[in-house]
Structure 1
Amino acid sequence: MTIKTTRANARPKILIVNAYVDPWRCAAPMRLFIPRAMAPYYLAGHINRARAEVRVYDEVYHGALLDPRLFDWPDLVILTGLTAAFDRARQLSAYFRNANPSVAVAIGGPIPRALPELCATIFDHVLLGDVETIEALIEETFGSDCVAESPAPRFDLAGWSFGLGFVETTKYCNFKCAFCSLTGEGRGYQPYSTADIERQLDAGGRTSMLMVLDNNFYGSNRADFIRRTELLGERWRRGQYRGWGALVTGDFFKNPDNLAKVAANGCRALFSGVESLDPAVLRTYNKKHSLSSDPRSLAQLCAEYGILFDYGMMLDFSQQTVADVDAQIDGLLEHAETPLPALLSLTIPILGTPHFNQSAASGKLMPKLRLADLDGQKLVEWPQEPLDKVVPYLADLLQFRGRKMAFARHAARHAWSRRASFDRLQTLISMAGPIVRFWGGMRVGTYRQMRQTWREPKRTFCATTEPLSVAYTPAHKMAAKFAKDFEPLYLTDANGHLRPEIASQTNASKSHALAEMRKLTASA
């Protein structure tokens, strides 16, 4: 399919959009969300900037895309985003097509990999591969001269990000966590070459701090881990950045030499998915590599090397009681040496994963469950205890009602306890980070974004009662044929059974995920 540009001899106009729906029902920009979505900027790097005009719009960083002037601008729209953003991607596609009937819309990333056949009926192009597959689309649509000769991420389009730079040194992960979309996709762990990493670092230029975007920086080959660590260290010693941070899995900490190695090469922060303080829950997730990941111990160990430790926690009321969760939260607040989690959410049964299929097969999924409900901020699986006990507790916890001052005091106490180990920037992050995450604050956007936010119905934190977002009502007059694009995608019927069309659309990914689940069960 070759697209004619809207003006003679004009460069083709390409817009790359990260589709996103804020679970807190706010359409305003979320500039403090770190790390930022970098896939759009990596995609943009494969397009020849001299031959095509490229823009990026990230609905996390820029807020909901509501500006009509942008809808009729592009000749080609490339959408990406997390699986739960499928409805939003479809809405955006309708807006662009309503404004410009000749526009082509492509979609890539986790959404089409989870729903390949459904996406093929909606979008003009479905990209199931990695970022590099955009080159075939660009060549087919605009010609080979529009493909970049030496691809490098377009960090220049990203704008200011609090002095942070970004790099990716590996793809995917060598573990098979039951809830992870990478497990469902079945993609193998792949390190980048030294040349690829250096090309990214050159594109990023000088920054205050560097964030490594890998799903697992440590990986399965320690020699390669050392290669990549020393490469980052070389740039650090040259003064390109003051330090760097990365995500590692629990097995990283079993060898103390690993901490010494990264610290000697400029590492100043590590994130690890602790996920749960309950070993039984971790085993059901196939996260046996995190069984010894006690946040207090790991934070102390990292501090000895001058490294800030951060982690995420997930709540699973299908396996935990309110008392269990409350005791864990109180335990975190009890000791100043224990950092608060950077992320606190419910476990998400992501479409196509072993966890999703197991939940569907065991009847855990709630009735009339929408794909957009799988955002980690509302109950989507039946809990052990009655809803009238779990839901009010969950609503208070996720909004930190009754605990805001306790979280603020703990953040200050924790930062003070680490003052001998951290520099000023690390101390500021360790104190301000939890306050920003858990205290909340007013986000400000454009008039359209704020108006949509004010019109949102009150949240219930439970999929069975959560009203639809106002985003499902077109923001302006649309052709009647686009009405279906504003209907939510339901995963389950009124009885909580997986809808046949969902089961059939995801058959390929489901088969792979079920095979993975059997392996996990056999090894548990």
Structure 2
Amino acid sequence: MSLKSKQNVLIINAYFDPWRSSTPTRWFIPRAMAPYYLAGYFNAELINVRVWDEVFHGALLDARLFDWPDLVVFTGLTAAFDRAHQLSAYFRNANPSVVTVIGGPIARALPSLCAEAFDYACQGDVEEMPQVIAEVFDRSHVSETGAPRFDLAVPTMGLGYLETTKNCNFACSFCSLTGEQRKYVSHSEQSITHQLDAMKRVLGVMVLDNNFYGNNRQSFERRVELIGDRWRQGQFRGWGALVTGDFFKRPENVELMARNGCKAVFSGVESLDPEVLKSFNKKQSMTSDPRALTKLCAENGMFFDYGMIADFSQQTIADVDNQLNAVLDDPTIPLPGLLSLTIPILGTPYFDEAARAGRLMPDLLLSDMDGQKVVEWPKEPLEKVVPFVADLMQFKGRKRALARHAAKHAWHWRKHFDWDQTALAMIRPLHRFGGKINLGSIRQMSQSRKEPSLTYCAMSDGLRSAYKPLVPLPSKFEKCFEPLRITDSEGGLTEELLNARAKAAPVALAGCGLELKPGLV
């Protein structure tokens, strides 16, 4: 690439909104922070860096941005491959010399396909991004510190984000981390300190770790104390983290985090049905009773949050209905912060088992795997399950019960919570399940109105509007707008998918004397 006075780099978190909206989702927590960590590896004196997160900023529809970057870096969840592929066409059409890079779960799940579709298909972590920068530009364009560019992110509700570990020491069958089989590791104290320094003063901190607790008690205690020191210094008013079910087996863990300023924890309870948990290989949650965990946390001044998964291939409508009603009828338990259908994520043991068992529906698209629609044959008749799912995902018929529960739950624990936590207990479920207000740019709102109705079933859903190019493109880009099909008309895996999952050959980094294995970001 010919160098100019200052290079332009755009980092994109590609995203297909499961509710068919193109407008921003500004209040969703946690946010995707990988783009801001990636941005930290570019030398700001030589490179202009911009970030576009299609969750936080909404769909990227502004054609004026397409010819701006010299380098575009894509990241996102696995189901967003089609979206990243579409966006790459816009940039390549506007600037034929642009360099495209993709990484994260997409590239790790589809190494061969990504190697064909992008200039660099990276499978490692964000710390390896300097190798790509050195190859595309030169080593002078790599930041000396690598500190994340939190200055590029507008805080959501005053929250800053921190990562202290990578991956997870458990192997839940539905988790992409299990499929990637990467080792659970802790950040160094220096890395955590750099992040906290870059964050500056914020209202609160959300730790992004997949498992903050982990399998090394000394590391856990060190990280808690490190964050606690910053809390005591007044950098933030409190913090929260995601922990696995084994964390709660030792009450002193809760006490330690509470003493160090932790105000909230999230844990993936996932299901109240032990058989479902066994099928997910989620042994760490077998004893996770939301009522007991809520009480334990509240008595230590901490808010408890959790997620639930409905699996209609194993559960009946009555099973799911009864579980949710039991929570609504008990004000001591919070409503789940996340409610999703089981997602057979590509590359996971769950996906492979579902494919072998013939549970995947015919003509599935990768973009169907969003947790908001039925993609596996249910245990009960489809014509009964789909309408129930549609009501469940919209909380239809439960809005009044939702409001009552939110008020009663916040009131019940008011003596154990501060004002911030009481407000969180009240507002969080109303925001999550009360309905989304689709506000954004005129172009984004117009695009949302063009979307076909969501049917909550992959077999009847039509292609979303993004598959039609925003601007006229040459025929060579037509393939970029073809959806990646997962199953054929009989429900078997497609040849296209099998080829896409094949391992790609290593990419030699001739300019910097390094070898880049497929997939760095």
**Alpha-carbon offset, residue 481 of structure 1:** 1.2
Aligned to 1:262: 257
Aligned to 2:41: 46
Q: How does 1:453-468 map to 2 (within 5 A)?
A: 453-468=448-463
Q: Hey, what's the Cα distance between the residues in 2 that align with 1:400 and 1:217?
A: 31
Write the deviation string for residues 319-373 of structure 1: whole angstroms up to 9, x where unpaired: 0000100000110011110100000000110000000000000000000000000
Please tell me whether the aligned partners of residues 5 and 46 of structure 2 are also in contact (alpha carbons under 8 angstroms).
no
Please tell me whether the aligned partners of residues 25 and 55 of structure 2 are also in contact (alpha carbons under 8 angstroms).
yes
Q: How does 1:185-224 map to 2 (within 5 A)?
A: 185-224=180-219
Counterpart check, 1:428 vs 2:426: no
Percentage of identical aligned residues: 60
Cα 1:360/1:508, change in 2 over 3 Å: farther
Counterpart check, 1:415 vs 2:410: yes
Aligned to 2:90: 95
Aligned to 1:359: 354
Counterpart check, 1:180 vs 2:178: no
Give TM-score scaled by structure 2 length: 0.96
Aligned to 1:322: 317
Q: Any idea what SS the aligned residue of 2:50 has?
A: strand
Q: CA RMSD in A?
A: 1.0
Q: Hey, what's the Cα distance between the residues in 2 that align with 1:491 and 1:133?
A: 30
Say which of 73, 79, 93 aligns to 2:68. Answer: 73
**Alpha-carbon offset, residue 132 of structure 1:** 1.3
Please tell me whether the aligned partners of residues 83 and 111 of structure 1 are also in contact (alpha carbons under 8 angstroms).
yes
Please tell me whether the aligned partners of residues 42 and 152 of structure 1 are also in contact (alpha carbons under 8 angstroms).
yes
Aligned to 1:293: 288
Write the deviation string for residues 98-134 of structure 1: whole angstroms up to 9, x where unpaired: 1111111110100010000011111111111100121
Please tell me whether the aligned partners of residues 214 and 246 of structure 1 are also in contact (alpha carbons under 8 angstroms).
yes
Q: Hey, what's the Cα distance between the residues in 1 that align with 2:35 and 2:165?
A: 17
Please tell me whether the aligned partners of residues 112 and 503 of structure 2 are also in contact (alpha carbons under 8 angstroms).
no
Q: Any idea what SS the aligned residue of 2:340 has?
A: strand
Give TM-score scaled by structure 1 length: 0.95
Matched to 2:89, the amino acid is: A
Matched to 1:71, the amino acid is: F
**Alpha-carbon offset, residue 501 of structure 1:** 3.0
Please tell me whether the aligned partners of residues 32 and 53 of structure 2 are also in contact (alpha carbons under 8 angstroms).
yes
Please tell me whether the aligned partners of residues 44 and 153 of structure 1 are also in contact (alpha carbons under 8 angstroms).
yes
Say which of 11, 15, 20 aligns to 1:20. Answer: 15
**Alpha-carbon offset, residue 223 of structure 1:** 1.2
Q: Hey, what's the Cα distance between the residues in 1 that align with 2:208 and 2:349?
A: 24
Aligned to 2:517: none
Counterpart check, 1:380 vs 2:375: yes
**Alpha-carbon offset, residue 500 of structure 1:** 2.3
Matched to 2:432, the amino acid is: R
Q: Any idea what SS the aligned residue of 2:60 has?
A: coil
Aligned to 1:444: 439
**Alpha-carbon offset, residue 160 of structure 1:** 3.0
Aligned to 2:509: none
Q: Hey, what's the Cα distance between the residues in 2 that align with 1:324 and 1:112?
A: 37
Please tell me whether the aligned partners of residues 70 and 98 of structure 2 are also in contact (alpha carbons under 8 angstroms).
yes
Q: Hey, what's the Cα distance between the residues in 2 that align with 1:340 and 1:413?
A: 11
Please tell me whether the aligned partners of residues 485 and 496 of structure 2 are also in contact (alpha carbons under 8 angstroms).
no
Q: Hey, what's the Cα distance between the residues in 2 that align with 1:153 and 1:408?
A: 39
**Alpha-carbon offset, residue 33 of structure 1:** 0.6
Write the deviation string for residues 385-438 of structure 1: whole angstroms up to 9, x where unpaired: 000100000001101111111111100110000100000000001100000001
Aligned to 2:124: 129
Please tell me whether the aligned partners of residues 127 and 133 of structure 1 are also in contact (alpha carbons under 8 angstroms).
no
Counterpart check, 1:495 vs 2:490: yes
Counterpart check, 1:242 vs 2:240: no
Higher relative contact order, chain-length normalized (CA < 8 Å, sep 6+) = 2
Write the deviation string for residues 252-293 of structure 1: whole angstroms up to 9, x where unpaired: 000010011000000000000000110000001010110111
Cα 1:400/1:18, change in 2 over 3 Å: same
Q: For structure 1, which segment, 291-300 or 35-44, has the greater mean C-alpha deviation from structure 2 after superposition? A: 291-300
**Alpha-carbon offset, residue 4 of structure 1:** 2.3
Q: Hey, what's the Cα distance between the residues in 2 that align with 1:491 and 1:298?
A: 39
Aligned to 1:371: 366
Aligned to 2:2: 4
**Alpha-carbon offset, residue 508 of structure 1:** 5.7
Q: Any idea what SS the aligned residue of 1:97 has?
A: helix
Aligned to 2:508: none
Say which of 223, 241, 252 aligns to 1:228. Answer: 223
Matched to 2:38, the amino acid is: L
Please tell me whether the aligned partners of residues 26 and 55 of structure 2 are also in contact (alpha carbons under 8 angstroms).
yes
Q: Any idea what SS the aligned residue of 1:201 has?
A: helix
Q: Hey, what's the Cα distance between the residues in 1 that align with 2:169 and 2:150?
A: 28
Q: Hey, what's the Cα distance between the residues in 1 that align with 2:115 and 2:496?
A: 14
Aligned to 1:393: 388
Q: Hey, what's the Cα distance between the residues in 2 that align with 1:486 and 1:508?
A: 23
Q: Hey, what's the Cα distance between the residues in 2 that align with 1:443 and 1:427?
A: 27
Q: How does 1:473-492 map to 2 (within 5 A)?
A: 473-492=468-487
Please tell me whether the aligned partners of residues 110 and 502 of structure 2 are also in contact (alpha carbons under 8 angstroms).
no
Please tell me whether the aligned partners of residues 111 and 502 of structure 2 are also in contact (alpha carbons under 8 angstroms).
no
Q: Hey, what's the Cα distance between the residues in 2 that align with 1:4 and 1:95?
A: 21
**Alpha-carbon offset, residue 477 of structure 1:** 1.3
Structure 1 gaps of 5+ residues are: 510-524
Matched to 2:480, the amino acid is: D
Matched to 2:176, the amino acid is: S
Please tell me whether the aligned partners of residues 79 and 369 of structure 2 are also in contact (alpha carbons under 8 angstroms).
yes
Q: Hey, what's the Cα distance between the residues in 2 that align with 1:500 and 1:263?
A: 52
Please tell me whether the aligned partners of residues 271 and 308 of structure 2 are also in contact (alpha carbons under 8 angstroms).
yes
Matched to 2:492, the amino acid is: H
Q: How does 1:300-315 map to 2 (within 5 A)?
A: 300-315=295-310
Matched to 1:161, the amino acid is: T
Matched to 1:65, the amino acid is: L
**Alpha-carbon offset, residue 507 of structure 1:** 4.6
Q: Hey, what's the Cα distance between the residues in 2 that align with 1:219 and 1:16?
A: 30
Q: Any idea what SS the aligned residue of 1:313 has?
A: strand
Aligned to 2:58: 63
Q: How many residues align?
A: 504
Counterpart check, 1:253 vs 2:251: no
Please tell me whether the aligned partners of residues 166 and 210 of structure 2 are also in contact (alpha carbons under 8 angstroms).
yes
Aligned to 2:153: 158
Counterpart check, 1:274 vs 2:269: yes
**Alpha-carbon offset, residue 189 of structure 1:** 0.3
